[in-house]
Amino acid sequence: MTVGRRLRRPLEEAILPFLVARAVVLGTLALAHFIVDRTHPSTAYVAIRVHQGLLGWDAGWYKTIAQVGYAPLGRQSLRFFPLVPLLTHALAWLPGVSYGTALLLLSNGAAFVATVLLFVLVRRETGDPEAARRALWFLSLAPAAYVMVMGYAESVLLCLVLGCFLALRTPSSRPNFAVAGLLAFGAALTRPVGLVLVLVVAAELVRWWIRLGRRERLLGLAATAAPLLGVLAFLGWASHVVHDLWAPLRVQLESSHHGGLSDPFATLLHDARDLLHHHVGTALHVPWVVLAAVLLVVCWRRLPAPYTLFAAGTMALAVAGSNLDSFERYALSAFPLIIAAALVCRGPRVERTVLALLPAALAGYALLAFLNISVP
């Protein structure tokens, strides 16, 4: 069977959820414009966020870094890893393509590819095309999936991570450690969470070690180190520019961003109490943390070890900070949780109910972000 025929169904399955997600997010952005135009909010940031639209929040940073580089923007820009700005800069060389357009083309194009890759991976791993189809819809309509319509890095990260898993989890042959290593290196240059792929590649290397030859073992060791090398490459560049090897991580650990290491249970309790003080944006994270923990157990029981390792590592990074801002976005990167949800929601009634609720949740979370109420 040719590659085109093998990809025909994944492409066909991916088109509709991809388009529905964009229709929901763009419709929500139009609603946010309507609300601002009619209510004239006293807080200026609300109008600013709405008018920034798909290039608001972190997307604005990625666009500006692609356009002018890191130096004019100071140390705060170093928390954004370089692959997405580099790819955006390259796309902006196309005639008539602005930096903002290039970033949105990259993000949305990568989102479609990630959706296709997820279908291929789930069908390969479970042998269940219906579970693969549900996974597509759940990924596309997850509450935080609006960031894959905006100019964020999550789409590119998911492409690289899913590609790495596909290179490693080959049912009829040995893992392709060369391809997996290159993709893991790119993932670590996209977002620091790419470093978690060290656990995934190492798990597959241990599983195959006895059956591998010397060259394959060396490739496996190189692939295991690739995510670490990706992070170190950016840290080394930062050290050369600002004379601080740890500057990108120091900025990310500031209290105004993810915050330093903290007790996750204390953070959860604090955010739950915020609901009493009408801080809806922070309190909304709590039920999703609980749901992610439940789905992590499903991963552990239903999926091979690399999936649980990646999801657990990603979630550990998400809850380790002093605040849970952007937790839903981190959980979106932990794609095995999406697969676990697809495996659990098997009955037609359950599936229909979830698929009816998800667009409303996606629209609600997008509206909160566009109105400057909740951090994406």
Domain that holds residue 18: 3-370
For residue 97, is it within any domain? yes
For residue 376, is it within any domain? no
Quick one: which of 146, 185, 192 has its CA closest to 163?
185
For residue 375, is it within any domain? no
For residue 131, is it within any domain? yes
Residue 275, pLDDT score: 54
Tell me what percent of the chain is helix, strand and coil, each rounded to the nearest 5.
80, 0, 20
pLDDT along the chain (376 residues), means of 10: 76 97 98 92 85 96 97 92 98 96 98 98 95 97 97 98 96 90 98 96 97 96 98 93 86 67 57 55 76 96 97 91 78 96 94 96 96 88
Q: How many domains does the chain have?
A: 1
For residue 210, is it within any domain? yes
Residue 220, pLDDT score: 97
Quick one: which of 150, 152, 207, 155 has its CA closest to 177?
207
For residue 364, is it within any domain? yes
Residue 359, pLDDT score: 97
* Whole-structure pTM value: 0.94
Residue 324, pLDDT score: 72
Residue 319, pLDDT score: 83
Q: Looking at residue 72, what DSSP letter applies?
A: G
For residue 27, is it within any domain? yes
Residue 53, pLDDT score: 96
Is 297 exposed, middle or buried, given 0-12, 13-18 or 19+ CB atoms closer than 10 A?
exposed
Residue 226, pLDDT score: 98
Q: How far apart are CA 335 and CA 368, in angstroms?
A: 23
